[in-house]
Structure 1
Amino acid sequence: MHLGRIAIQLHASAPLLFSRRATATALVLPHSRRAAFAMAATPPVARKVPRELAQHGDVRVDNYYWLRDDSRSHPDVLAHLRAENLYTATIMSDVKNLEDEIYAEIRARIKEDDIGAPLRKGQYYYYNRTLTGKEYVQHCRRLVPTDAPVTVYDVMPTGPNAPHEHIILDENVKAEGHDYYSIGAFKVSPNGKLVAYAQDTKGDEIYTVYVIDAESGKFVGQPLEGITSDIEWAGDDHLVYITMDAILRPDKSFQLFENHIAVYERQNGLPKVTAYRLPATGEPIGQLQGGREIDFVDPAYDVEPEQSQFGSSVVRFHYSSMRTPPSVFDYDMDSGVSVLKKIDTVLGGFDASNYVTERKWAAASDGTQIPMTILYRKDRVNLDGSDPMLLYGYGSYEICIDPSFGRSRFSLVDRGFIYVIAHIRGGGEMGRKWYEDGKLLNKRNTFTDFIACAEHLIENKYCSKEKLCINGRSAGGLLMGAVLNMRPDLFKAAVAGVPFVDVLTTMLDPTIPLTTSEWEEWGDPRKEEYYYYMKSYSPVDNVKAQGYPNILVTAGLNDPRVMYSEPAKYVAKLRELKTDDNLLLFKCELGAGHFSKSGRFEKLREDAFTYAFILKALGMAPKAAL
C-alpha cells in the first residue's frame, strides 16, 4: 500500500473532457383489496441457508449470510429487500398523512432562497446559493471592489451596482439524470483560475474529480476516477489527491495566521477557542501566553473553524447550539470584537426563547460522570416523568457529537418531546482517554454509559420507560443493537440507522471495505481475546428469544461503510427469535449510500418518516382508516 499523495501537472492546452412513478390504476374488489393488504402486511421471512463460521475453535451458524451480495444485483436479495420495503410502507400507511405533515413542517422552517456567508479570498468573494424548490447549491463568486485589508466589518456588496455574480458550478444542473448526487469537495486554486471538485453519483463515496476553468466552466485535463474526496491545491497548477486501493481503503491520513494562532481545544466536554498573537518573525514562539478566549452564550454548543485568510487578524468560526441556529462569526484576534456575519433564518414561527438547553451528568456503572445535553420547549413539557423523549447516542471513533442545531427535531420538541444527546465514552468529547475508554476491549463502556444515561433521565423525571425512544446511526446503530439486547425493557422504541450490527463477521473479513483500517477501533478478531470480547456485544450474535421494543432499521444498498446486508441479517434474525408483537420495520434505500439520499429536501423525508414511526410507536399518531 502506498501513500497515494500524487501531484499532477495541469496544462492549459490539455484536451477538454465533457462527461457527463408511473402510477398504475386498477379496479380492485373489496375482498381482493383486503387480501392484497393482508399479504403486504405480513412480515417477510428470509429463508435460512445455514453457513458455519469457525474461528478459534468456536463455530457460529449464520442462517442469513446469503443476504450479502457484493454486486448488489442478485434477484433473490433484491426481491427480499423490496418485500421488506413494501411491508414497511404498508404498516406505515396509516400514518402517511402524519409523515407528510411533519415533512411540510420541517421544510417550512427552511428559507429556501438563501446565500451562505461570503468568504473573501484573493480578489473574489466566494459563497453558496440555494434556490427555492431546488435540492442542491450553486457555487458562486463576485469580484472584491476594493484593495482594503480584510476586517470583521467586511461586507460583500450586492444590488444593481455591485460586481456581477458568477455561478462557477450549479449542482442542480450536474445532478440531472442522477438518483444520487453529492460533491464531496470544491476547491479553488490559489490564483482563482481553476476549480477542482469531487463528484459521487451513487452514494458509495468513490469520487471522480474534475478540474474546470473557473470562468468558462470548461473541463481541464482528464478526470481522476475512483479516488477519495481529499483534494488540495499545491500551488496554482498542481493538485494533491488521495487514492484508494482495491477494497476502498484510503491509502493514507491550529488554525495558523501570519501574526496569530487560533487554538481549538476542549474543556469539560465542550469546545474552547483561544486566539494568541505570535511573536515577531524570527523570534521563538515559546509558550503561548495572554490569549483571548472567545465567549459563547449557551450552556452547551458546537463550534467549528471556518476557512479564514492567513494574512488577516480575523478568524472565522461556525457556531450553533440546540436552540441557536447555525451562525458564522468573524472574530478580530487583536481587539476581541466578534461580528455576526450570517445566522440561518428559521421560518415557521421559530423563537429561540421558547426553548431551554441544559447540561446534565449521569453516573456510569464505574462512577464516571457522563455529560448529556438536553433540549425541550418550556411551555410543552411537564418534567414529571410523563414527557416523551428521544435519546440519541454515538460513542465511537473519537467523534465529538457536540450539540448543534437541527431544524427537523423541532417537529418532535414542539409536540412535547424532550431531546437528549448522551455524550458517551468512545467519542472524543472529554478528551483522548474518553475515547480510549470506549474502544477495543473497553467498548462495552459505550453501551453501559448509554444505559446509565437512560436510567438517570428516568430517575430524574425527564421521562419514563413507556415514553423513552432511542436513536443512533452507523456506529450509533451498533449502540442501538447492543443496548436493545442488553436492556430491551428500558425502551419503548428504537431507530437504528445504517447500523453496524454484524461486528464479528465483518471484522473477520479483510475483503470488506474499511475492515482492516477498522481493527484499530474495534480490535482484530483473528486474535482470540478480541474475538470473544467482540462476540459478547456484536448485536447479530446476541439476538435472542426475548421481547424487544418497537424497532425501525434503515439501510442504503450502495453503502460502502456498513454493508446493507448487516441490517438485513439483523432484522431477519430478530424476526426469527423475538417473542413480542411490537413493530419491526426495515427500510432499505435502493438508490442511496451511508448518508441516505443526497438532495437537501429528500433528506428531510427520512426525518419525517422516522418521527412518524416514533409517534406511531408511542400511540401519539392519529390513525387513518385503510
Structure 2
Amino acid sequence: MSEQMSEVTQPSIHTPPRPAQRPVTSTYHGDERVDEYAWLRDKDDPDVITHLEAENAYTDSMLAHLGGLREELYAEYRSRTQETDEQVPYPDGAWEYVSRTVEGKQYSIYSRRPLGGGDEQTVLDPNQLAEGLDYFSLGAFAVSPTGNLLAYATDTDGSERLHLYVKDLRTGELLPDTIDNCGYGAAWSADEQYVFYTTVDENTRPYKLWRHKLGTDPSADVLLHTEDDEAYFMSVRRTRSRAWLVMSLGASITSEVRVLPADDPEGEWQLVAPRRTGVEYFVDHHGDRFLIVTNDEGPDFRVAQAPVTAPGPENWTDLIPHTPGVRIEGIDPFASQLVVSLRAEGRTELDVLEVSSGERRRLAFDEPIYAVGLGINREFDTSVVRVEYTSMTTPPSTIDVDLVSDARDIRKVQPVLGVDLSQYESARLWATASDGTRIPMSFVWRKDRVQGGPAVLYGYGSYEISYDPSFSTERLSLLDRGVAFGIAHIRGGGEMGRAWYEHGKKLEKVNSFTDFVACAEQLVKDGWTTPSQLAIRGGSAGGLLMGAVLNLRPDLFAGVLAQVPFVDALNTMLDPTLPLTVREWDEWGNPIEDPETYAAMKAYAPYENVAKGDYPRVLATGGLNDPRVGFWEPAKWVARLRDRLTGGGPILLKTELGAGHAGPSGRYNRWKDEALNQGFLLDAIGVVRSDG
C-alpha cells in the first residue's frame, strides 16, 4: 500500500496528489454508505503524513506565482501596523497591567507597574517561552489576589492540552508547582494558597476540577468534581467581586453551576441549580445576591437575582424580565452599577442599571453599524468602566465610560499608519431568503471602488456565534484593490437573537446555507459584483458552510477559502469517540439514534454531496493537531472533490503540521498565513496587482 501511495501521491509537485482509495462501508438506518478515504484519519499512518506533505508541496507549487503578491500583502500589513505599541493599562489591585508588542517579536509582552508610581516589571514574556517552538499560545493568565503570584498555562503544539505553571512575581522565579494536561483557565483562593484548575480527558474535554495547594506535589491535589457526561465541558473562574469561585458545567443548551466562597477554599461547593435540559444560566455576584442570566422563562434570556444563602431557582426573582427580540448575553456587576450586554435589532448594545434607583439606560454610539462590548475591568468598586468599540471603518477603540455622568475618555484608537480612513464606507445590506426571511449583511468598500467589481463574502452561522461588523487592518489590502467585503449574518448565528440561532440548527440547518446563497445572489442582483468576481470565505463551522454552498451553487463563486472546514460532518457526528461529537449532538442532532437527523445531515454534509461537475478554485486548510475539526476532514473533502472534478479548479489543501485549530501562532506567522489566504482570494477573482 505504501508503495502504491508513493506512486500516486508524489509523482510531481505540479500534479495533484491522488491518495489511494480504501473503501469502508457502513450502514445506518438501512442506508449503506461507502467512504473511500476513511483511512486518512489515521495520524499514525506514515502514508497519511506523506500524503499531507505532498498536498502541501502541490499547493506551494500551484500558488508559487503569487509569491510576489504575498510579499506585497505582508509588507502592507506591517506598514500599516505600529509594531511597537502598547494597550491601555488596566488597574488590578495595587498595580496597573499593560501588554505591549515590540517590533520583530511574535507575541505580546505582559508587564505591570505600581499604581502610585515606580519601576515597571515584566510579568510574562511569551517570546522567551516560545523560543525554539513552532507553536505557542497562552491558555490561562491568573494573577493572585495580592499580585504576588501568577498562574499561567501554555499550549506548545495546538492540541489545547495545557501545561500550568506558577510564577513568583516578586522574584521572577518559577515555583515547582507544574501541572500537565490542563484545560483553559485557573482561579486563586482569597489567601492565594490554593489554585483551582481543570484537566482534560482523552478527547480534550475539561472534565475534572482540582484543588492544588501551593508548594505541594501535584500528585496530592484534591479532586473536587468529575463530569462523566461527555456533552459537558467544565470551567472555573472567580467572580468580579473576587468573593466567590464559580465552577461552570455547560453542554450546548444546558448549564449547571456550583459556587464556593473564595475565602473558604477547602469548603463544600454549593449547587446553584441542577441541570434541566434546555435551560442555560450564568452566575455572577453582587453584595448579598447572585445575578443569574437565564433562558428559563424565554429564549432571549432574563436577569434574575437570588440570595447567596439560598440561590436555588425557587428563589429567582426578576431583575430584568425576558423581552422577546432583546437577547441578553451577560451582566457585569460593579459596586453601584450593573452593565448588561445585549443584542437588539441586530446590534450589540450596553445598558447601564443603577443599583440604588433601578434606572436603566443605554449607551449611545453614532455609527449605524458597530460592535461594542466591555473591555478588561478587574476592579469592582468603580464607576468608570472600560469599553471596546469598533466598526468596519473605525479601528478598535478603548473608551473609559463614567457610568454616572456618561462622560467618555477615548484612551486609545488602534493606530493605522499611512491610511486615510475617510476613504472607506460601510453599510447594512439585506437579502431575502427562500422562505421570505430578511438576512442582514455588513458591507464595507473603498469609496472609489468601481460598481460591479470584485467582492469577498464571509459567513459562519453556527453555535449562536455572532460575527459583528469590526475593523481589520489586513482587510484594507482587499479594499485598496477595489474589492468589497461583506459578512452574511445568516441564521444559525446569534446576530438577531435566540430565534435566529434556533432556525439555523439541527433539522433547520439548511437555512444557514440557503441564507448565504441568497446573500450572494442579492449582491449579484443589486450590481455589487458578478459570479466571476465573487469569492467566499469561512472557517470551522463556517467551513461547513463553504462546502455546503459550493455543492448548492458552484457556479455562483470564483473562489472558495475553507479554513479548518467541518466538511465531514455526518461521519463525525456518527462517531462518539471523537472529541466534540457527543456535546455537539445538541447543535446538529444525533444521527445515530434519529433517522430524521441522519437523513437531514446526509442531504447537506459537504463530503457526502460532492457531485461530478465543474468547481471554482478551492483552498482548504487544516491543522494536524486540531482537536476541534480533524485534519482529515479537509483532506478527505479535497480528495473527493478532485475525483469528481470535470473542469475548473484547482482544488488545493494546506495542512499545518505543527499547529491546531487556530493555525500558526505569532503575529508575523499569522500575517504570512493571511497573505497566502488573501493572495489566493485575489487571484481567484482576477485581482493580483495593487492599485498603486
State whether TM-score is above 0.5.
yes
The letter for the 1-side match of 2:195 is: L
Q: Secondary structure at the match of 2:583?
A: helix
2:561–2:618 CA contact under 8 A, matched in 1: yes
Q: 2:648 aligns with which of 574, 581, 601?
A: 581
| 1:471-507 per-position Cα deviation (integer Å, ceiling 9, x unaligned) | 0000000000000001111111110000000011111
The letter for the 2-side match of 1:230 is: G
Matched, 1:59 2:32: yes
Matched, 1:336 2:413: no
Q: 1:356 aligns with which of 425, 432, 441?
A: 425
Q: Secondary structure at the match of 1:553?
A: strand
Structure 2 counterpart of 1:378: 447
Deviation at 1:608, TM superposition (A): 0.5
2:141–2:185 CA contact under 8 A, matched in 1: no
The letter for the 2-side match of 1:54 is: T
Deviation at 1:170, TM superposition (A): 0.6
1:95–1:622 CA contact under 8 A, matched in 2: no
| 1:25-72 per-position Cα deviation (integer Å, ceiling 9, x unaligned) | xxxxxxxxxxxx992111111111111021111111011011111xx3
1:23-422 equivalences under 5 Å are 39-69=12-42, 72-145=43-116, 163-235=118-190, 236-251=192-207, 252=234, 253=250, 254-279=331-356, 288-289=358-359, 291-308=360-377, 309-347=379-417, 349-379=418-448, 381-383=449-451, 385=452, 387-422=453-488
Deviation at 1:214, TM superposition (A): 1.6
The letter for the 2-side match of 1:185 is: A
- Alpha-carbon separation, structure 1, partners of 2:443 and 2:75: 25
| 1:124-159 per-position Cα deviation (integer Å, ceiling 9, x unaligned) | 1101011110001111000011xxxxxxxxxxxxxx
The letter for the 1-side match of 2:374 is: P
Deviation at 1:239, TM superposition (A): 2.4
Deviation at 1:249, TM superposition (A): 1.8
Deviation at 1:221, TM superposition (A): 4.4
2:535–2:684 CA contact under 8 A, matched in 1: no
Q: Secondary structure at the match of 1:216?
A: coil
Q: 2:635 aligns with which of 568, 586, 589?
A: 568
Deviation at 1:607, TM superposition (A): 1.1
1:292–1:333 CA contact under 8 A, matched in 2: no
The letter for the 2-side match of 1:331 is: V
Q: Secondary structure at the match of 1:45?
A: coil
- Alpha-carbon separation, structure 2, partners of 1:330 and 1:221: 39
Deviation at 1:304, TM superposition (A): 2.3
Structure 2 counterpart of 1:483: 549
Matched, 1:454 2:520: yes
- Alpha-carbon separation, structure 2, partners of 1:187 and 1:405: 29
The letter for the 1-side match of 2:94 is: Q
Instruction: Answer 1 or 2: higher relative contact order, Cα 8 Å, separation at least 6.
Output: 1
2:566–2:634 CA contact under 8 A, matched in 1: yes
1:359–1:374 CA contact under 8 A, matched in 2: yes
| 1:451-475 per-position Cα deviation (integer Å, ceiling 9, x unaligned) | 1111111111111111110000000
Aligned residue-pair number: 557
Q: Secondary structure at the match of 2:429?
A: strand
How much identity, in percent, do the aligned residues show? 47
Deviation at 1:215, TM superposition (A): 2.3
- Alpha-carbon separation, structure 2, partners of 1:582 and 1:514: 32
Structure 1 counterpart of 2:564: 498
Q: Secondary structure at the match of 2:389?
A: strand
- Alpha-carbon separation, structure 1, partners of 2:389 and 2:169: 30
- Alpha-carbon separation, structure 2, partners of 1:441 and 1:106: 42
Deviation at 1:198, TM superposition (A): 1.5
Structure 2 counterpart of 1:149: none
Structure with the bigger percentage of strand: 2
The letter for the 1-side match of 2:555 is: D
2:481–2:687 CA contact under 8 A, matched in 1: no
**TM-score, length of structure 1 as denominator length:** 0.87
Matched, 1:550 2:627: no
1:556–1:588 CA contact under 8 A, matched in 2: yes
466-475 or 314-323, which deviates more: 314-323
The letter for the 2-side match of 1:373 is: S
2:350–2:373 CA contact under 8 A, matched in 1: no
User: Structure 1 runs of 4+ off > 3 angstroms?
Assistant: none
- Alpha-carbon separation, structure 1, partners of 2:367 and 2:659: 36
359-368 or 563-572, which deviates more: 359-368
Unaligned runs of 5+ in 2: 1-9, 208-233, 235-249, 251-330
- Alpha-carbon separation, structure 2, partners of 1:92 and 1:442: 38
Q: 2:596 aligns with which of 516, 523, 529?
A: 529
Deviation at 1:566, TM superposition (A): 0.5
Deviation at 1:622, TM superposition (A): 6.1
1:209–1:224 CA contact under 8 A, matched in 2: yes
1:292–1:336 CA contact under 8 A, matched in 2: no
Q: Secondary structure at the match of 1:229?
A: coil
The letter for the 2-side match of 1:305 is: L
Deviation at 1:237, TM superposition (A): 2.9
* CA RMSD of superposed structures (Å): 1.5
2:17–2:55 CA contact under 8 A, matched in 1: yes
Unaligned runs of 5+ in 1: 1-36, 146-161, 280-284
Judging changes above 3 Å, is the alpha-carbon distance between structure 1 residues 458 and 581 closer, same or farther for their aligned structure 2 residues? closer
The letter for the 2-side match of 1:256 is: P
Q: Secondary structure at the match of 1:476?
A: helix
- Alpha-carbon separation, structure 1, partners of 2:196 and 2:75: 43
Structure 2 counterpart of 1:428: 494
| 1:384-417 per-position Cα deviation (integer Å, ceiling 9, x unaligned) | x2x1000000000111101111111111110000
Deviation at 1:185, TM superposition (A): 2.1
1:299–1:357 CA contact under 8 A, matched in 2: no
| 1:2-44 per-position Cα deviation (integer Å, ceiling 9, x unaligned) | xxxxxxxxxxxxxxxxxxxxxxxxxxxxxxxxxxx99211111
Q: Secondary structure at the match of 1:573?
A: helix
- Alpha-carbon separation, structure 2, partners of 1:547 and 1:201: 41
- Alpha-carbon separation, structure 1, partners of 2:63 and 2:664: 20
